[in-house]
């Protein structure tokens, strides 16, 4: 059937604008003005984005199955103890789905590329909050339970999530809503320095992750004696942390393609490995959370503060609402910005500049 369909043509790095070029990826690029149909058809041909899409699209269904299992097998409507897990599982469904959609439709235009990844960043931030909600409910060390840190943990995580979304969007466009003139183009982080934009993105997601995992790091690496939490879930937490740092390493270093440009254009480049390690890490994280949830239920129910709607679904709804507002503002400014087809980044570069 697919043999009867004319698949879109692919291009080399020198045939696409700078905004679409990836570090050390030489070939396999889709047309920077692809139609929505072309984007969907490209799922069934080998490009440098194909595995980026599938490595997140397929796990979405696995996490959705886990979510439905919890909803159908447990009394989630009356058992508040399950609510943090539900928030986490919803975030686990959202972030790979948003990522796969972003990679699918990011070649429709320069503006579409930015907007797609705005939603991707918002979904990753939501996943960070989902982790924080479950860590507060199930993972917090015994000695930290009901402490001041525990009391304000979710509130700080909500703030971090909002800042994370804003900074990640800023890393692509800067703050164009402060200047409605063509000089704004020179202020964009990706125009001025592509590596600066990437650094801002890494930091915008690394900081919430490190904060969310403070209780876990203390529990696994620093705690000793009374007040520590030692159970079978710790081994799974170790695996998750190892894969999380591997994911960050792959994202930051662009290995292995940097060592052999062109060799890993279609299979094996860092972004694909980044997706795979991130998903496997999330799988171990989910298993560890479920085990902590089961093993510590009685102890936590007797000693921990009650789980509330506002501290679970309320926090998630607040973050989603504010993140959507942030995405809307950046999108609005991107689409309303005065266009200048001759506008370029410093030194003649066009990375991150609008061509619409």
SS3 string, 267-291, reads CCCHHHHHHHHHHHHHHHHHHHHHH
Tell me whether residue 21 is in a domain: no
Residue 256 preceded by cis peptide, ω within 30? yes
Tell me whether residue 10 is in a domain: no
Kindly provide the b/e burial profile for residues 305-344, where b requires at least 16 CB atoms within 10 angstroms of the residue's own CB.
eebeeebbbebbeebbebbeebbebbbebbeebeeeeebb
Tell me whether residue 111 is in a domain: yes
Tell me whether residue 33 is in a domain: no
Task: Provide the 10 A C-beta neighbour count for residue 226.
Answer: 7
Which tens digits make up the pLDDT trace of 113-153? 999 999 999 999 999 999 999 999 999 999 999 999 999 99
Nearest residue to 291 (alpha-carbon basis) of 352, 239, 247:
239
| pLDDT computed for residue 340 by the predictor | 40
Nearest residue to 304 (alpha-carbon basis) of 237, 240, 208, 229:
229
| pLDDT computed for residue 175 by the predictor | 52
Tell me whether residue 186 is in a domain: yes
- Name the helix (H) or strand (E) containing 134: helix 110-134
Average pLDDT value for the chain: 89
Tell me whether residue 26 is in a domain: no
Q: How many domains does the chain have?
A: 1
Mean pLDDT computed over 327-355: 57
Q: What is the dihedral of CA 291, 293, 296, 302, to 10 degrees?
A: -170
pLDDT band at 336 (very low <50, low <70, confident <90, very high): confident
Whether the pTM exceeds 0.85: the reply is: yes
- Positive/negative CA dihedral, 235, 291, 160, 87: positive
Tell me whether residue 41 is in a domain: no
Range of the domain at 303: 48-348
Structure tokens at 118: 């705005």
pLDDT above 70 coverage of the chain, percent: 87
- Tokens 């009685």 belong to 298
Residue 342 exposure: Cα atoms within 13 Å on the Cβ side: 0
| pLDDT computed for residue 348 by the predictor | 39
Tell me whether residue 1 is in a domain: no
């Amino acid at each position: 059937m697919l043999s009867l369909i004319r698949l879109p043509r692919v291009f080399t790095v020198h045939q696409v604008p700078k905004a679409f070029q990836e570090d050390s990826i030489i070939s396999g690029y889709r047309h920077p003005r692809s139609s929505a149909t072309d984007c969907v058809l490209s799922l069934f041909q080998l490009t440098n984005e194909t595995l980026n899409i599938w490595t997140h699209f397929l796990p979405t269904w696995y996490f959705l199955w886990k979510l439905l299992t919890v909803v159908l097998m447990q009394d989630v409507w009356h058992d508040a103890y399950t609510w943090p897990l539900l928030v986490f599982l919803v975030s686990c469904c959202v972030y790979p789905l948003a990522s796969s959609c972003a990679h699918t439709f990011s070649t429709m235009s320069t503006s579409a590329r930015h907007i797609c990844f705005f939603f991707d960043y918002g979904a990753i931030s939501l996943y960070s909050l989902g982790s924080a909600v479950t860590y507060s409910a199930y993972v917090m060390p015994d000695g930290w339970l009901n402490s001041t840190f525990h009391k304000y943990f979710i509130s700080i995580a909500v703030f971090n999530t909002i800042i994370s979304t804003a900074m990640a969007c800023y890393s692509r466009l800067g703050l164009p809503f402060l200047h409605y003139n063509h000089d704004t183009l020179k202020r964009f982080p990706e125009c001025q320095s592509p590596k600066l934009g990437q650094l801002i993105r890494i930091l915008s997601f690394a900081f919430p992750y490190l904060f969310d995992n403070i209780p876990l790091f203390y529990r696994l690496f620093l705690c000793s004696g009374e007040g520590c939490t030692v159970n079978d879930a710790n081994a799974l937490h170790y695996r998750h942390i190892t894969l999380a740092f591997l994911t960050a390493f792959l994202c930051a270093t662009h290995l292995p393609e940097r060592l052999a440009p062109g060799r890993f254009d279609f299979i094996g480049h860092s972004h694909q490995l980044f997706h795979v390690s991130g998903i496997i890490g999330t799988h171990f994280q989910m298993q560890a959370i479920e085990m902590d949830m089961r093993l510590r239920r009685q102890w936590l129910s007797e000693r921990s503060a009650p789980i509330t709607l506002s501290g679970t679904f309320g926090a998630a709804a607040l973050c989603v609402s504010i993140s959507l507002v942030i995405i809307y503002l950046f999108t609005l400014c991107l689409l309303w910005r005065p266009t200048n087809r001759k506008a370029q980044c410093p030194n003649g570069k066009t990375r991150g500049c609008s061509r619409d």
